[in-house]
């Protein structure tokens, strides 16, 4: 009973922590999505110097450096350069850019798997490159990206707990505060945190799965069933 009341009393702060977690996740994904698409398009259609001088170094850097290190670099680096940056902002930048590098890979793979023939058909109609991308390439690439993107969503949401390390009061830090206030209920409190992360990832993935079904291109059903049964046999 005692234990339960601790959770009950801590619930408002856990929920406000959850909101911060969702907030962080939203910004990570939004930055990652917009920048990721731009990077992917730049890599597939852009001039070679753009690829070599900007896109590749960016992707390599943000994929090679651990997130926690990125977080520290942005947070402590900003004060070194006398830039006034909150812990929240530093987290958003560090992990948003990290996500952009990963999402760029997802979108690039999807764009390249569509094939040059679709682009050729669009250009032959008289569309310019941007129109072809907007009306022909991206609608197909985004559909193909959903499964890998739902992976990225789960990773980003869970990694938002790293923002704990620079003092953002997200879900995990709220949990830590409750543990500190009430002594010794660590397992219970962190289990509740774990449950909340689980539910958030689960709901998000269900929504993405729904979108995948909703925007599936008709006519490929038979082929998909065949592929699925092959997978099931493995």
Binding site for other proteins (CB under 8 A): 117-118, 120-128, 131, 135-136, 139-140, 143, 217-220
Instruction: For residue 184, give every residue at least 6 positions away whose Cβ sits within 8 Å of its Cβ, in sequence order, or none.
Output: none
Could you tell me the end-to-end alpha-carbon distance of the chain, in angstroms, rounded to an integer? 47
Distance, CA of 113 to CA of 116 (rounded, Å): 9
Residue with tokens 């009393």: 9
Asked whether 208 and 146 are in contact (CB, 8 A), the reply is yes
User: Closest CB to other proteins among 195 and 217?
Assistant: 217
Distance, CA of 191 to CA of 187 (rounded, Å): 6
- Taking the complex as a whole, how short is the minimal distance between the CB of residue 113 and other proteins, in angstroms? 12
- Taking the complex as a whole, how short is the minimal distance between the CB of residue 132 and other proteins, in angstroms? 9
User: Closest CB to other proteins among 86 and 128?
Assistant: 128
User: Closest CB to other proteins among 79 and 224?
Assistant: 224
- Taking the complex as a whole, how short is the minimal distance between the CB of residue 50 and other proteins, in angstroms? 21
User: Closest CB to other proteins among 63 and 225?
Assistant: 225
Strands (E), the chain: none
If DSSP codes are grouped into helix, strand and coil, which group holds residue 232?
A: helix
- Taking the complex as a whole, how short is the minimal distance between the CB of residue 153 and other proteins, in angstroms? 22
User: Closest CB to other proteins among 131 and 151?
Assistant: 131
- Taking the complex as a whole, how short is the minimal distance between the CB of residue 141 and other proteins, in angstroms? 10
- Taking the complex as a whole, how short is the minimal distance between the CB of residue 222 and other proteins, in angstroms? 9
Q: How far is CA 140 from CA 23, 29, 86, 132, in A?
A: 29, 20, 38, 11
**DSSP H/E element including 172:** helix 171-182
User: Closest CB to other proteins among 117 and 232?
Assistant: 117
Radius of gyration of the chain (CA): 21
Residues for the chain: how many in total? 234
- Taking the complex as a whole, how short is the minimal distance between the CB of residue 8 and other proteins, in angstroms? 50
User: Closest CB to other proteins among 68 and 127?
Assistant: 127
CA atoms within 13 A on the CB side of 135: 11
């Amino acid at each position: 009973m005692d234990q339960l009341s601790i959770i009950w009393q801590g619930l408002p702060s856990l929920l406000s922590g959850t909101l911060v977690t969702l907030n962080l996740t939203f910004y990570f994904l939004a930055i990652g999505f917009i920048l990721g698409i731009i990077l992917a398009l730049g890599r597939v259609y852009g001039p070679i110097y753009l690829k070599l001088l900007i896109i590749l170094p960016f992707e390599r850097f943000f994929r090679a450096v651990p997130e926690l290190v990125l977080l520290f670099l942005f947070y402590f680096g900003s004060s070194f350069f006398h830039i006034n940056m909150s812990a929240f902002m530093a987290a958003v930048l560090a992990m948003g850019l990290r996500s952009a590098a990963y999402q760029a890979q997802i979108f690039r793979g999807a764009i390249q798997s569509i094939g040059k023939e679709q682009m050729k058909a669009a250009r032959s109609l008289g569309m310019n490159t941007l129109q072809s991308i907007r009306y022909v390439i991206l609608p197909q690439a985004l559909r193909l990206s959903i499964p890998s993107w739902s992976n990225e969503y789960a990773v980003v949401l869970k990694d938002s707990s790293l923002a704990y390390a620079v003092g953002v009061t997200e879900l995990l830090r709220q949990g830590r505060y409750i543990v500190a206030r009430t002594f010794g209920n660590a397992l219970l409190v962190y289990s509740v945190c774990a449950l909340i992360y689980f539910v958030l990832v689960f709901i998000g993935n269900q929504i993405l799965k729904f979108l995948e079904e909703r925007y599936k291109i008709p006519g490929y059903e038979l082929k998909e069933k065949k592929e699925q049964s092959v997978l099931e046999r493995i």
